[in-house]
Chain A
Amino acid sequence: MNETIRNLLAKVGGLPVAADGLADEADLYAAGLSSFASVQLMLGLEEAFDIEFPDSLLNRKSFASIAAIEKTVATILSSQKAA
């Protein structure tokens, strides 16, 4: 999952720095993730993992770092499995 996220980030994140060089915990907003790019990233994640983000998870915190994204995606995946 980590790698898929990193690939998407490199493709649509529009960051001025290379996504490879980012630590899992690095603050993506400080790295230059714009709100437009974050939406593109969400769309990419929905496609890649066949999920839909509920509004309750569409907040800055859910996408603040690679680790946070992993957690957000995992939460949705497990709730989809449960359903």
Chain B
Amino acid sequence: MNAHVKTPVASVSERIARAAAVAARYADDVDQKGRFPAEAMQALKDERLMGVQIPVELGGEDTPIAEIAELCSILGQACGSTAMIFAMHHIKLSSLVEHGMGAEWHRGFMRRIADEQLLLGSATTEGGIGGNLRNSICAIEVEGDICRLEKEATVISYGVQSDAILITSRAHKDAASSDQVMTVFLKDQYTLEKTHGWDTLGMRGTCSEGFLFKGEAPAEQIIPEPFAEIAAHSMLAMAHLLWSALWYGIAVDAVHRAQAFVRAAARKSPGQTPPGALRLAEISGKLQMIKTDIIHGVRQYEEIRRNPESLTMGFLIAMNNTKLSTSTAIIDIVGQTLLINGIMGFKNDTPFSVGRHLRDAYSAQLQISNERILMNQSTMLLVNKQDMSLLG
């Protein structure tokens, strides 16, 4: 461990810059080998960034969501997989911060996360259900003060490396499929039997393998609030905002590379505007649009956090829209950078390579299928009247 570890005197931005430098150094190797970004994750732990979201009273730093989104974006510029792991960890953590402050066990666990810099994994996806995360087939079984769960968890990112997994299920064996809870299981309270590999087009370092999950733990580890509340009040917003932030980061790095390419061309032939410059101007505007959208979304979510009573369908629709537009826009933006950089962008070993960015970008519309989200949006828009005011 580094000397600056225990007491983070440096600012969050200095700490993330150091961790991102490590992530960037190993990004191509992580991608090529489809391996866990161990060096970058260690750097994030050394910089004490895993627990920043936790309130100060429990050992964290109370870092606002906007700043966490910025951290995700900075990591996204370095290594998409590392950024996704960091984002997913903080999305899980938000469920504890927002819904576990009143539960003794969960408060103690947050203290441990801050202290030991634990990594949280997520298991919502289920065989037979797919990405329809507001439904479960599996049910948690409570017997006395013990709970048991078995789940066909077909995608758990960094399942093997997680120190704990937050997992959804029906609330009891007779519960309806949408009557769900989320439970924290610690590493020594479950087994993972690998059922699916993760040799993918992009986001290869997330190691999102499939497992048969079998866990047994004290029943007090079930988060007291229904999962429906967790999903609506914090998880949906956090996921869509933090994911969008890191996807934005991936696009930013590709645009940086295109900018460097165009500048190099401009320097070689002074007085002439290089051909790629026009495309660059075009994507600069698109990048600005998603940035604005994400920041607006973060502000809306901060308002909901201050005033949970104001949560309405309109908010959920807005969060979904941000996810839908960011996940499609980045494919367009990164695709344009490939056109700008040409063969130098297509090659995997030049300073202008954008292949990894493009492949990572393609995961965005699948991570919760845009088709599924659009279908939900179209249902909600049957009754919701979108706020059309400019300032609302």
Number of interface residues of B (CB under 8 A): 24
C-alpha spacing A35/B373, complex, angstroms: 13
B131 to chain A, nearest CB (A): 15
**Contact digits for B290-333, partner A, Cβ 8 Å, 1 yes 0 no:** 00000000000000000000011110000000000000000000
Answer yes or no: B348 CB below 8 A from chain A CBs.
no
Partner of B176, one of A16, A42, A43, A60: A16
Answer yes or no: B383 CB below 8 A from chain A CBs.
yes
A26 to chain B, nearest CB (A): 12
**A30 and B134 within 8 A (CB):** no
**A29 and B179 within 8 A (CB):** yes
Answer yes or no: A58 CB below 8 A from chain B CBs.
yes
Within 8 A of A (CB), among B341-384: 376, 379-380, 382-384
**B383 and A53 within 8 A (CB):** yes
Contacts of B145 in A (CB 8 A): none
Within 8 A of B (CB), among A9-47: 15-16, 29-36, 39, 42-43, 46
**A58 and B312 within 8 A (CB):** yes
Contacts of B176 in A (CB 8 A): 15-16, 30-32
Number of interface residues of A (CB under 8 A): 23
Interface of A (DSSP majority class):
loop
Answer yes or no: B175 CB below 8 A from chain A CBs.
yes
**B178 and A29 within 8 A (CB):** yes
Partner of A39, one of B229, B311, B314, B383: B383
Contacts of A53 in B (CB 8 A): 383
B310 to chain A, nearest CB (A): 8
**A59 and B179 within 8 A (CB):** no
Answer yes or no: A56 CB below 8 A from chain B CBs.
yes
What are 27 residue pairs bridging A and B, where the CB atoms are less than 8 Å apart in the complex? A16-B176, A29-B178, A29-B179, A31-B179, A34-B134, A34-B135, A34-B178, A35-B178, A39-B379, A39-B380, A42-B383, A43-B382, A46-B383, A52-B385, A54-B385, A55-B385, A55-B387, A57-B312, A58-B312, A58-B313, A58-B314, A58-B383, A58-B384, A59-B311, A59-B313, A60-B229, A60-B311
